[in-house]
Structure 1
Amino acid sequence: MFRRAISAVVLVWALGFVWFAFALPEPADGIATDAVVVPTGGEGRIAQGLAVLNDGLAERMLVSGVDREVTPGEFAAEFEVDERQLECCITLGFSAVDTRSNAAETAQWVEDNGVRTLRLVTTDWHMRRAAGELSRALPSSVEVVRDAVPSEPSFASLFLEYHKLLASWVAGLIGF
């Protein structure tokens, strides 16, 4: 009986990993939202967020988890952002250090700015965990559109992120 239970758990874990690795989230259509949030950490995320802003699909953008050493001028220069656009439409968030604190920083920014619809831009392999943390931090009245940045993650990256996702789900279930 014990062996069957362990076998069932291993089978569910393995099938879950296959699903996770081969059914990565995809980019969103041209859906307009009030704002876009981009957690730092993955290639192409900020560029995609800026494209959403520049295409008029959102009016404001939060870049969550910016290193405290980065100045607004350095950010503008690196990503070729006009200073006026930076002042009016882009908020650099410096308090987040991981996915959970990205969600907390975003939730506070959403509340402070009266955001009702939000586009989450993050890497495809990171989307499920980031969206899960965000859904726990935001009020249910805020609609979130998932906009995944396509990538080519390594097996090791997928394996690690799958386990982080499982840990996040368990933490959410037990209210941690």
Structure 2
Amino acid sequence: MTERSEPEREAHGIRRPARTTARPRRGLRALAFLLAFAMLAGGAYLAGGFIRFARDVALLSTPPVAGEADGIVVLTGGEQRLAQGLRLLREGHGRRLLVSGVNRDTSAAALARTTGEDRKLFDCCVDLDYEALNTIGNAEMTARWAHEHGFTRLFLVTSDYHVPRSLLELADIENAPDVVPYPVSPDKLWRSDGWPSRLGLRLLATEYAKVIAVKLRQSFGLDLTRARSHRIARIG
């Protein structure tokens, strides 16, 4: 049987089935466009947020020490932090100092030798926190230590890029003391022209991602397991 021509098909009321693939293809293209737009918009938002974060960190500066705080807290992570905290304590800008997140194998004598500080200062006025394993633990132990000593105002000594996340974690603790950030700028983070170094960019990008994670966690009300043990060792 020979195939009918197009005119013959129309004459006998025979029509080719309508193509049904054009509409789904248009839908897929629209979906792909929306996804691409969302990714671009999200990327632009994150990039803008990172630029603001890096700018805010760069603008952090050592506060003028007018008057005194009740106590001083150093979050471990570099010798510069501890040296700065001990200087504040030695000059009388706080009554006691807490070093939070100390390695369990590190003693007060070892810290005194590392910093070149008189051991008597450690014996008198320094407490070591061996329990905090992260910034969440640092914040909780800081608040607990301040409560135990009746402190309501603290100097918080940590690296400049770590200040925003530390303040977020402390703000999430009920009845936390007032905190004055005392930023320390790591030598390898910034170049002489004020721009971050290659290492600095990596540190800032990593810290920015952590800050976003903290904000998301707090926005959704997620309560991560905090430090289970709360032992603070008093020297002397």
Deviations 1:86-133 (A, max 9, x none): 122110110011111111111111111111001111001111001111
Q: Deviation at 1:48? A: 0.8
Q: Residue 16 in 1 paired to residue 62 in 2?
A: no
Cα contact 1:37–1:49 (8 A) shared by 2: yes
Q: Which residue of 1 aligns with 2:73?
A: 37
**TM-score normalized by structure 2?**
0.69
Normalised to the residue count of structure 1, the TM-score between the two structures is 0.91
Question: Which residue number in structure 1 is paired with residue 209 of structure 2?
Answer: 163
- Residue type matched to 1:26 in 2? S
Cα distance in 1 for residues equivalent to 2:179 and 2:84: 16
2:219 is the alignment partner of 1:173: yes
CA offset at residue 82 of structure 1? 2.2
What SS class does the counterpart of residue 37 from structure 1 fall into? strand
Q: 1:60 aligns with which of 96, 107, 115?
A: 96
Q: Report the Cα offset of residue 29 of structure 1.
A: 1.3
Report the CA distance between 1:5 and its aligned residue: 3.9
Instruction: Give yes or no for contact 1:129–1:165 (8 Å, CA) kept in 2.
Output: yes
Q: Give the conservation status (yes or no) of the 8 Å contact 1:120–1:131.
A: no
Pick closer, same or farther for the CA change 1:112–1:130 going to 2, 3 Å.
same
The count of aligned residue pairs is 175
| Equivalent pair of 1:119/1:144 in contact (CA under 8 Å) | yes
Please list every run of 5 or more consecutive structure 1 residues that lacks an aligned counterpart in the other structure: none
Structure 1 stretch 157-166 or stretch 19-28: which is displaced more?
A: 19-28
From 130, 134, 137, give the equivalent of 1:98: 134
Q: Aligned pair 1:47/2:83, yes or no?
A: yes
Deviation per CA, 1:36-62, whole angstroms, max 9, x where unpaired? Answer: 101101341101111111121111110
Letter of the 2:72 partner, please give it. V
Identity over the aligned pairs, expressed in percent? 34
Query: Pairwise CA RMSD of aligned residues?
Result: 1.6
| Maintained 8 Å contact 1:49/1:61 | yes
Match of 1:80 among 116, 136, 143: 116
Distance 1:126 1:33 in 2: 21
Question: Distance between the aligned counterparts of 1:93 and 1:138, measured in 2?
Answer: 20
Q: Which has the higher contact order (CA 8 A, sep 6+)?
A: 1
Query: 1:2: Cα distance to partner?
Result: 4.9
Q: Check conservation: 2:135, 2:166, Cα contact below 8 A.
A: yes
